[in-house]
Amino acid sequence: MNHDPKATKALPAHVETSLDATPDRTTIPVIRTIAMPHDTNPAGDIFGGWLMSQMDLGASTIATRRARGRTVTAAVEGMSFLSPVQVGDEVTIYGRIVSTGRSSMRVFVEAWRRNRESDDITKVTHATFTFVAIDAARKPRPLPDADEAVG
């Protein structure tokens, strides 16, 4: 799951590049989607739950690959919404494993939005998801050694 920072494409010169305005360079993109009208609440804003589900999907992609099998979401730590997502925005989910235990792992995830008619990106939220590897009986199982996992 090593990510080579040199392989990251440079952002266009007019895009803000401070540490607070770009995805964490140790993360990899795992999902890119468009916020659609059916993802809104009655006021017309994108549901926070929709965004959280996209983050969970992205984090689970990383966790399942590392576990070489099924995982379940066990916890989510500290999610604050920093910026709204509008209908039509492109939403990209970035993530990385921050730690592993015997059967669990913590995956840091960030969500960024981009108006499809612009190159400007804005951080929407971030959180750390905890996953547990499970077996066919849905019981916790040990993670494989890191070199056995897809990387």
Q: Would 89 be classed as within a structural domain? A: yes
- Predicted confidence at residue 144, as pLDDT, reads 95
In a domain, 133, yes or no: yes
How many whole angstroms separate alpha carbon 37 and alpha carbon 92? 17
More confident residue, 55 or 12: 55
How far is the C-alpha of 95 from the C-alpha of 24, rounded, in Å?
9
Residue 1, domain member (yes or no): no
Residue 68 makes CB contacts below 8 A (sequence gap 6+) with 144, 148, 149, 150
Summarised one tens digit per residue, pLDDT across range 54-103 is: 999 999 999 999 999 999 999 999 898 999 999 999 999 999 999 999 99
Q: Do the domain assignments include residue 103?
A: yes
Q: Is residue 55 part of a domain?
A: yes
Global pTM reads 0.81
For residue 82 the two structure tokens come to 């920093």
- pLDDT grade, residue 16 (50/70/90)? very low
CA 73, CA 133: separation in Å to the nearest integer?
9
- CATH code for the domain of 136: 3.10.129.10
Q: Would residue 40 count as lying in a domain?
A: yes
**Number of domains present in the structure of the chain:** 1
Q: Check whether 151 has a pLDDT greater than 60.
A: no
Closest C-alpha to 73, from 85, 87, 62 = 62
Domain hosting 39: range is: 20-148
For residue 26, pLDDT over 50 is answered with yes
Residue 32 is assigned to a structural domain of this protein: yes
Does residue 38 lie within any of the structural domains?
A: yes
